Amino acid sequence: MTTIFDKVFKKSKKDFEIPEKWNEYATGFYEYLYVEKNYSEHTILNYLGDLFFFYSFCMAESIEILNIDQYVLRSYFAKLNMEEKIEKRTQSRKLSSLRTFYNYLFRHEIIPENPVLSVKFPKVKKRIPKNFSPLEMTEILENTALETEDKNPIIKARNRAILEVFYSTGMRVSEIITCKWENLSSDKSQMKILGKGNKERYVYFGKEAISALEEYSNVYNSEREGFIFRNFKGEGLTTRGVRYILEKYRREIGMEKTITPHKFRHSFATDLLDSGADIRYVQELLGHTSLSTTQIYLTVSKEKLKEVYRKAHPHAKLKQDE
């Protein structure tokens, strides 16, 4: 029997036969995440992957998927920790996946209550986002004019535009690959995009990004409709394709620090806050639903303030010299 896991992951994900009823639950869960929750493809894949591993555990232990309790869950996470030593952050995500799955079953009256609600999430220390320093960002963006392996003027202009747009807008990689010519304003200063959870918002381009987009537009010899950033076959770029472009560029300019889409996003937010931007405007520009998500960038700004204070204040310098 072909299961939802086989269809979604494009290959077999099992060494055992999943009961037909269990596959129905998983298929319904997939549709729930995709249609009702509007989750991104990346999130859905993570949730289904987590559910698959829980299915595997229940099959191995002869546990009925609808009759679990907190003891089954604790046993499951204890086994995961013993075999993989997973971090608390990963534990929290896996628990969230199961909580959402059983909430789906509860809402559709398949079970009388959500058994995962009785299990507490592990305390996770918030990670301080990694961003580029102003000097590193200058090094990245100024080196786009250098001679690289890409002789094709369209590819070279495209890559420069991708780098400039990343920093100018703070877009997620999943958002930048879906940018379309028809959503770009005529002066190339702003664009309407479809963000996380299928929520629309506007992003704005600075002069360097506008210049890069104009250069790309001038050498782009196809119709200006559909996806802006395409591969050499004319197909829209994938997230993997963008990461490959960034890694290739990093090697070409001889930079040791990794260049990732999210570091551009972190740098965009941190630099705005360091320059005095209101956090609520930054929240809107990033497309965050919750302000608490944006507030993590304040930690980075506070660290910079501490550094400035320690270097500049006489008493702070006195303490360091002692």
* Active-site amino acid positions: 172, 196, 262, 265, 288, 297
Q: Which one, of 297, 29, 317, 287, lies nearest residue 176 by Cα? A: 287
Strand partners, 180: 227
Written in H, E and C, the secondary structure of the chain is CCCHHHHHHCCCCCCCCCCHHHHHHHHHHHHHHHHHCCCCHHHHHHHHHHHHHHHHHHHHCCCCCCCCCHHHHHHHHHHHHHHHCCCHHHHHHHHHHHHHHHHHHHHCCCCCCCHHHHCCCCCCCCCCCCCCCHHHHHHHHHHHHCCCCCCCHHHHHHHHHHHHHHHHHCCCHHHHCCCEHHHECCCCCEEEEECHHHCEEEEECCHHHHHHHHHHHHHCCCCCCCECCECCCCCECCHHHHHHHHHHHHHHHCCCCCCCHHHHHHHHHHHHHHCCCCHHHHHHHHCCCCHHHHHHHHHHHHHHHHHHHHHHCHHHHHHHHC
Count of alpha carbons within 13 angstroms of residue 82, beta-carbon side: 6
CA 111 to chain centre: 32
